[in-house]
């Protein structure tokens, strides 16, 4: 493609690609993000390609692979346009039928369509699906329509038009003002007003300025940014172009997590294509604005999601945070003023410039405008990525969009904000999801990770899980985080092992307060959140572990026992054979099978093997007559700490 040397040439190209892509043309679109591919989307794509070729339809029907459509639960899925039929749970062997019935004859094949829980209703069209109905897919819509490695697809759907508009008809202060009026707040978790952040950087006088995209997405269970980068990398580039123009930056970096190879590849291709067209480089679109963009790959450190640590990592140093002030807007990359924003924040920028600050500010709540992408995972029927207006309640998210809890279980909590967040209990499900309501409830919205937990989840174990994670990810610089987090972990581990004392709960709280207030960076400052929020809402579970030595959720290894229900047991010997430590005795058909709890390592193999579900986990460890302690499980990371500090 030819380099665009002027605004006119840009609009010409836009008209050309639009004309080549009439909206009602026949298309088959396969959702092929990392999760889609993991489930076999590529095989489905190949099957479509072959089936279309066999019927000589390759020229008539556009087949494409896009980024994630968001409905991960039913992948591999395909969208057939222009009808809008949504097929789910596809396998290569189904495809020939679909091509014949739907593409050739225009009929819906009901067995491949999403049904509701009891099968009474079928939803043939994507827009009818309960999963999509309540969403506000400002950003994710394009994920469904564009091929991420084709810049033309993006251009045809108003791609880079916002940048062209800003560059040609808005002054830099006007762009910043539009950002401020929109009310956009950082989507990475901090929630800082974006317009204000840009203004700080804009005001600095310097010969060199930078803009950076934080694509580190370290929260486990969150993959919103990955889907945006895999499915629509150009929207991030466009956002950064607008931001660079506004603050006066000449150089930009996208810091991508190493664990996202497809995102890295798609970004590389996108940057090359943009450069080829002259949207990156010198004298963009014939103006005096020049901007170069580079990628910087992370190397596996959660703390590098913190902005000062991220900057050090781009500088090829150890990713250790530093004290702020000075803030990156004053002194960032190599000491120059730097504006850092999250992927989703940048992605919202072109929309706001195109459709206006008022359009954006009309969505959401008073203090939290616009829409937000969440990764709804865990014990939920419709696992996936959802984009909803701010202010939607947790209840709507879990039940209307998420489809509720599977396996007839009861919801216990929704964990938001990743390791920096907390757990919202079931009785607070009517809370609106926005920055402030969640913070008041003791959690944070964070980057968008939302893990649904049911009655089989032990909340003390959840605290332990996050503390283990944070202990490993602590950079080690400041004492409260480096030494305090392992101390909190030690106490919670002791509680999970049945060696907790009442004083432990008080120690936890005082440790948590100090760590929260004194840590150097956000990782340390928020590391007590999982403990504090679970203590606040699930103190009864902690107390059961401490006083009764029982795990009510039947999870903590040392506080449960496995028992065979003699009435149900059919004496088939499977459990005894499955046991790796020979803790089950019994003879075939003699109905004398028994699990010796003091030998049992609670691995669950017997429960899995039992064909009649005669083995169940019960709360409370039943010590044998000689009072032997429960055997310790040996997975590497959940070793019980012995009697350290156990002296009373």
Partner 1 sequence: MDLKRIDEIINQHTDTHDGAYPPVIPILQDIQSEYRWLPEPALVHTAKRLRVPLVDLYGIATFYQSFRLTPPGEHQINLCMGTACHVEGAPLILGKLERKLGIKAGEVTEDGKFGLDEVRCVGCCALAPVMVVDEDYHSLKGKKDVGKIIDEKRKSDEKVSN
Partner 2 sequence: MAKEVTITIDGREVRAEEGANLLQTARDAGVDIPGLCYHPKLSPTGACRLCMVKINGRAMPSCMTEIKDGMEVTAFDEELESWRVTGLDIILNEHECACTGCHMAGGCSLQDLACRYGLIGLNRQRFRRFYKEIEGKLSRLPGLDRLLNRIAERKTPTMDEPTPAYSGRHADCVRCGYCIEACPMDLYPIMIVDAYLQNDRALLKKLYPEDCIRCDMCAYCCPGEIKLPWYIQQAVPVKRSVSGSASRQTASK
* Binding positions for partner 1, rule: CB under 8 A: 34-35, 38-39, 72-73, 75, 218-223, 226, 258-260, 296-302, 313, 315-319, 334, 375, 377-379, 383-384, 415, 418, 449, 451, 453, 457, 462, 465, 469, 475, 580, 601, 603-605, 608, 633-638
Does residue number 520 form part of the binding site for partner 2 (CB under 8 A)? yes
| Residue 331 or 371 having the CB closest to partner 2 | 331
Does residue number 335 form part of the binding site for partner 2 (CB under 8 A)? no
Q: Which of partner 2, partner 1, none lies near 131, with the C-beta cut-off 5 to 8 A by kind? A: none
Concatenated DSSP letters of 574-628: HHHHH-TT--EE--TTSS--EE-TTT-----HHHHH-TT--EEEEES----TT-P
Residue 467, helix vs strand vs coil? helix
Report H helices in 39-105. Answer: 41-54, 95-98
Shortest spacing between CB 514 and partner 2, in angstroms? 4
Q: Which of partner 2, partner 1, none lies near 519, with the C-beta cut-off 5 to 8 A by kind? A: partner 2
Concatenated DSSP letters of 189-219: TT--BHHHHHHHHHH---S--EEEEEE---S
**Among the residue ranges 185-193, 254-262, 510-518, 556-564, the one whose residues contact partner 2 (CB under 8 A):** 510-518
Extract the tokens encoding 196.
């204000």
Does residue number 361 form part of the binding site for partner 2 (CB under 8 A)? no
Q: Distance between CA atoms of 156 and 91, rounded to whole angstroms?
A: 31
Q: Distance between CA atoms of 459 and 551, rounded to whole angstroms?
A: 10
Q: Distance between CA atoms of 340 and 307, rounded to whole angstroms?
A: 7
Q: Distance between CA atoms of 31 and 145, rounded to whole angstroms?
A: 10
- Establish whether the linkage from the previous residue to 619 is cis, with ω within 30° of 0: no
Shortest spacing between CB 636 and partner 2, in angstroms? 22
Q: Which of partner 2, partner 1, none lies near 323, with the C-beta cut-off 5 to 8 A by kind? A: partner 2
Shortest spacing between CB 308 and partner 2, in angstroms? 12
Helices 459-473 and 529-537, packing angle to 10 deg: 170
Q: Which of partner 2, partner 1, none lies near 170, with the C-beta cut-off 5 to 8 A by kind? A: none
**Among the residue ranges 5-13, 72-80, 189-197, 481-489, the one whose residues contact partner 2 (CB under 8 A):** 481-489
Q: Give the phi and the psi of residue 584 in degrees, each rounded to 5.
A: -110, 130
| Residue 299 or 483 having the CB closest to partner 2 | 483
Shortest spacing between CB 542 and partner 1, in angstroms? 18
Q: Distance between CA atoms of 569 and 573, rounded to whole angstroms?
A: 10
Shortest spacing between CB 638 and partner 2, in angstroms? 22
Does residue number 641 form part of the binding site for partner 2 (CB under 8 A)? no
Shortest spacing between CB 637 and partner 2, in angstroms? 21
Extract the tokens encoding 288.
């005096």
**Among the residue ranges 79-87, 422-430, 440-448, 511-519, the one whose residues contact partner 2 (CB under 8 A):** 511-519
- Establish whether the linkage from the previous residue to 326 is cis, with ω within 30° of 0: yes
| Residue 180 or 265 having the CB closest to partner 1 | 265
Does residue number 5 form part of the binding site for partner 2 (CB under 8 A)? no
Shortest spacing between CB 604 and partner 1, in angstroms? 5
Q: Which of partner 1, partner 2, none lies near 517, with the C-beta cut-off 5 to 8 A by kind? A: partner 2
Shortest spacing between CB 465 and partner 2, in angstroms? 22
Q: Which of partner 2, partner 1, none lies near 315, with the C-beta cut-off 5 to 8 A by kind? A: partner 1
**CA-wise closest residue to 53 among 44, 38, 63:** 63
Residue 451, helix vs strand vs coil? strand
Helices 479-496 and 502-518, packing angle to 10 deg: 160
| Residue 90 or 157 having the CB closest to partner 1 | 90
Does residue number 505 form part of the binding site for partner 2 (CB under 8 A)? no
Residues 197, 341 contacting (CB under 8 angstroms): yes
Does residue number 478 form part of the binding site for partner 2 (CB under 8 A)? yes
Helices 233-247 and 224-231, packing angle to 10 deg: 100
- The contacts of residue 466 (CB under 8 Å, 6+ apart) are 419, 527, 530
Shortest spacing between CB 556 and partner 2, in angstroms? 25
Query: HSE (CB half, 13 Å, CA atoms) of 266?
Result: 29
**Among the residue ranges 143-151, 346-354, 506-514, 601-609, the one whose residues contact partner 2 (CB under 8 A):** 506-514
**CA-wise closest residue to 583 among 566, 556, 605:** 605
Binder of partner 2 out of 484, 522, 528, 552 (CB under 8 A): 484
Shortest spacing between CB 510 and partner 2, in angstroms? 6
Q: Which of partner 2, partner 1, none lies near 375, with the C-beta cut-off 5 to 8 A by kind? A: partner 1
Q: Distance between CA atoms of 500 and 558, rounded to whole angstroms?
A: 12
Residue with tokens 């959690």: 443
| Residue 383 or 443 having the CB closest to partner 1 | 383
Binder of partner 2 out of 511, 523, 532, 575 (CB under 8 A): 511
Report the Cα 453 to chain-centroid distance in Å: 16
**Among the residue ranges 224-232, 353-361, 423-431, 475-483, the one whose residues contact partner 2 (CB under 8 A):** 475-483
| Residue 510 or 590 having the CB closest to partner 2 | 510
Site track 301-330 with partner 2 (rule: CB under 8 A), x = hit:
---------------------xx-------
**Among the residue ranges 139-147, 285-293, 330-338, 516-524, the one whose residues contact partner 2 (CB under 8 A):** 516-524
Does residue number 510 form part of the binding site for partner 2 (CB under 8 A)? yes
Backbone φ/ψ region at 64: left (φ over 0), alpha (ψ -120 to 50), beta:
beta
Residues 104-123 interacting with partner 2 (rule: CB under 8 A) = none
Residue with tokens 């539009």: 178
Binding site for partner 2 (CB under 8 A): 322-323, 477-480, 483-484, 487, 510-511, 513-514, 517-520, 645, 647
């Amino acid at each position: 493609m030819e380099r665009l040397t002027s605004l006119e040439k840009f609009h010409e190209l836009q008209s050309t690609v639009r004309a080549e892509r009439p909206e009602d043309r026949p298309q088959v679109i396969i959702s092929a993000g990392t999760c889609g591919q993991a489930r076999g989307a590529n095989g489905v794509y190949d099957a479509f390609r072959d089936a279309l070729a066999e019927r000589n339809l390759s020229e008539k029907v556009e087949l494409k692979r896009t980024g994630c459509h968001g409905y991960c639960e039913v992948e591999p899925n395909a969208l057939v346009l222009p009808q809008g039929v949504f097929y789910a749970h596809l396998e290569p062997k189904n495809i020939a039928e679909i091509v014949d019935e739907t593409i050739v004859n225009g009929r819906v094949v009901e067995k491949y369509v999403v049904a509701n829980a009891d099968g009474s209703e079928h939803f043939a069209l994507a827009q009818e699906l309960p999963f999509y109905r309540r969403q506000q897919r400002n950003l994710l819509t394009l994920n469904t329509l564009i091929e991420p490695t084709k810049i033309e697809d993006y251009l045809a759907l108003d791609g880079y038009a916002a940048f062209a508009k800003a560059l040609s008809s808005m002054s830099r202060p006007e762009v910043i003002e539009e950002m401020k009026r929109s009310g956009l707040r950082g989507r990475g978790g901090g929630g800082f007003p974006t317009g204000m952040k840009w203004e700080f950087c804009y005001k600095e006088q310097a010969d060199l300025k930078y803009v950076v995209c934080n694509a580190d997405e370290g929260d486990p269970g969150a993959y919103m940014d990955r889907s945006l980068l895999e499915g629509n990398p150009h929207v991030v580039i466009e956002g950064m172009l607008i931001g660079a123009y506004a603050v006066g930056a000449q150089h930009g970096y996208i810091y991508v997590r190493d664990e996202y190879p497809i995102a890295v590849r798609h970004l590389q291709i996108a940057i090359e294509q943009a450069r080829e067209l002259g949207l990156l480089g010198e004298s963009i679109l014939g103006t005096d604005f020049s901007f170069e963009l580079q990628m910087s790959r992370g190397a596996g450190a959660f703390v590098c999601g913190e902005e000062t640590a991220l900057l050090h990592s781009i500088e090829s140093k150890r990713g250790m945070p530093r004290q702020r002030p000075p803030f990156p807007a004053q002194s960032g990359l190599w000491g120059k003023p730097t504006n850092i924003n999250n992927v989703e924040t940048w992605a919202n920028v072109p929309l706001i410039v195109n459709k206006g600050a008022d359009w954006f500010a009309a969505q959401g709540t008073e203090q939290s405008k616009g829409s937000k992408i969440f990764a709804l995972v865990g014990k939920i029927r419709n696992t996936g990525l959802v984009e909803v207006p701010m202010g939607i309640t947790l209840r709507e998210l879990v039940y209307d969009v998420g489809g509720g809890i599977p396996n007839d279980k009861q919801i216990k909590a929704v964990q938001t904000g990743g390791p920096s967040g907390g757990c919202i209990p079931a009785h607070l499900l009517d809370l609106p999801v926005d920055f402030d309501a969640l913070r008041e409830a003791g959690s944070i919205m964070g980057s968008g990770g939302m893990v649904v937990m049911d009655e089989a989840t032990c909340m003390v174990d959840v605290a332990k899980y996050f503390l283990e994670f944070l202990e490993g990810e602590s950079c080690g610089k400041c004492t409260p985080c480096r030494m305090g987090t392992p101390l909190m972990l030690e106490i919670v581990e002791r509680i999970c092992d049945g060696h907790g004392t009442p004083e432990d709960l008080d120690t936890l709280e005082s440790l948590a307060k100090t760590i929260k207030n004194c840590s150097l960076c956000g990782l340390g400052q928020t590391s007590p959140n999982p403990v504090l929020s679970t203590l606040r809402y699930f103190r009864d579970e902690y107390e059961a572990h401490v006083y009764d030595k029982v795990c009510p959720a039947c999870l903590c290894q040392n506080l449960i026992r496995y028992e065979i229900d003699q009435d149900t047991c059919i004496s088939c010997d499977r459990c005894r054979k499955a046991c790796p430590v020979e803790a089950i005795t019994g003879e075939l058909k003699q109905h004398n099978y028994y699990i010796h709890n003091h030998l049992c390592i609670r691995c669950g193999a017997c429960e899995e093997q039992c064909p009649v579900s005669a083995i169940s986990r019960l709360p409370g460890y039943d010590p044998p007559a000689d009072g032997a302690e429960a055997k310790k499980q040996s997975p590497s990371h959940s070793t019980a700490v012995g009697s350290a500090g156990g002296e009373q």
